[in-house]
Chain A
Amino acid sequence: MLRKYSNHRTVQDNIKLGALTAFSAGMVNVASVIVFFSFTSNVTGYYAIFAQEITKGNWYQGAVVLFWILLFLVGSMLSNMIIIHGKGRFSTYLTHSIPLGLEILSILFVGIYLDFFYKDSLQETEVLVGALLFAMGLQNGLTATISNFVVKTTHLTGLTTDLAILISMFTKESNRHNKALVDKFHLLLSIVVSYVAGGLISGLSFAFLTYKTFYVVCFVLLIIGFYDYYKLYIIKKQYLQRHRQDPVSV
């Protein structure tokens, strides 16, 4: 999922990455709506709210919304910067894992803070929502960058449009046999389904785990990180075994 870049990625790589990251985004979004009454996986609505608050003269609320939008932007920017500047210096897997690691740390921070220190004040809410938006920005920046802008998993507006266009295109016989379009349809569908599933599981688990739901999100993200680590480990092991058995070929 993480060790391949841009055009070297297969459809299966993108589906796995898209499904798992969309699942975590759905979980984060629903949990944050329950705890903070604020969405944290997308910023489209916040642009409109920002304009609305400014026109109403609510400068404080406007600043809060701007702060959240900027944190999402900084997260995405940082993700891309790490990937493009880390290319050539570190392994692809390590470079792609750093934004994911930062995302896990941000969500873990929110989970721990809620669990042990949260006093339900407005300022805490604003900072914690900001941390989640930063995490989602990191995630979106990561998936979009490594998949050559094919996989975006934290918001579904563009995705729903693409899905609608594909559904319409499939009304023509020739398009139904176009592999590229069918693959894209599968990818988009898996993202939508995973996002909704993540949201549902988050909503249900919140009833039992409350703030600990954020630890579950971290666990899902760890699976993404360690999946490729495990694959690389297997490949390395097989390579070493092969060369131990046949030292002449080395």
Chain B
Amino acid sequence: MSIIKRKILSRFNFIFLALLLFVATTMVMFYESPERMLEGEWVEQGWYFEKVENNPSFKKQAIIHDEIKTAAIAHLPPLQDGLWHFERSGNDNYVAHHEDKRYNWFLKGRGHILELRKDDKLVESFVIHELNRNELILYLNLDLQAKGIARIVLKKGGRVNYAEKI
């Protein structure tokens, strides 16, 4: 009796494992991937300090000054107007709505790293903290006047929403 039970259990292990592998593979293949979710226009809602080095002048303020924000993305012209537009055409992922189309975007890891490259050279990388159909929260390491981590909150929306906002 015990031998039969163990034989069944041993087979059950294989079935369970195969089932898990099948479910995981199917989800990876057919579930909405972060790449697809990221495509489209995102409007900046705000820049906040998530973590900041022990510095009394920055410790108490949550919102990042425009001055620091501008400096942080000075090397990223397509993002400077507060509208982040991730476009995909075939195998080419580029940051759209800007005259300079040499900025490409890539997702890395399990979709938790957003890389921006210009002419195939890394310009900036963000950690994706939250990504769903409506909201995108990114972390960016700041090393300017204030050393720390910036939390950038964006909402999905087109030019209409953006126009309303400004």
Contact = CB atoms under 8 A, between A and B. Distances in A.
Tell me if chain B binds chain A.
yes
A63 B108 contact: no
B61 interface: no
Interface string B109-120: 111110000000
B62 interface: no
Contacts of B130: 56
Count class of interface residues, chain A: 20 to 34
Interface string A45-58: 00001000100101
Interface stretch (A85-93, A114-122, A138-146): A114-122
Contact of A70 (B21, B34, B35, B106): B21
B108 A125 contact: yes
Interface in B124-166: 130-131
B35 A121 contact: yes
A123 interface: yes
The main secondary structure of chain B at its interface with chain A is mixed
The main secondary structure of chain A at its interface with chain B is helix
Contacts of B33: 60, 122-123
Contacts of B23: 63, 66
Given A70-B20, A73-B17, A126-B28, A37 B35 contact: no
Contact of A36 (B28, B91, B108): B108
B27 A59 contact: yes
B32 interface: yes
Contacts of A59: 27, 31
B31 A60 contact: yes
B28 A64 contact: yes
Count class of interface residues, chain B: 20 to 34
B91 A60 contact: no
A126 B17 contact: no
Given A64-B28, A121-B35, A122-B34, A74 B21 contact: yes
Interface string A91-121: 0000000000000000000000000000111
Contact of A61 (B35, B91, B108, B112): B112
B101 to A, nearest CB: 17
B17 A60 contact: no
Nearest to A68: B110
A190 interface: no
A123 to B, nearest CB: 7
B70 interface: no
A37 B127 CA distance: 11
Contact of A119 (B32, B91, B112, B113): B91
A105 B16 CA distance: 27
Contacts of A121: 35, 91
A75 B43 CA distance: 44
Given A64-B111, A65-B110, A70-B24, 14 more contacts: A36-B108, A37-B108, A37-B113, A60-B28, A60-B111, A64-B110, A67-B24, A67-B25, A70-B17, A73-B17, A122-B33, A123-B35, A126-B28, A126-B110
27 contacts: A36-B109, A37-B109, A53-B110, A59-B31, A60-B34, A61-B112, A63-B23, A63-B27, A64-B24, A64-B28, A64-B110, A64-B111, A67-B21, A67-B25, A70-B17, A70-B21, A70-B24, A74-B17, A119-B91, A121-B35, A122-B34, A122-B35, A122-B107, A122-B108, A123-B35, A125-B109, A126-B28
Interface of A: 36-38, 49, 53, 56, 58-61, 63-67, 70, 73-74, 119-123, 125-126
Across chains A and B, which 8 residue pairs bring their CB atoms closest together, nearest first? A63-B27, A67-B24, A37-B109, A37-B108, A66-B24, A64-B110, A122-B107, A60-B31
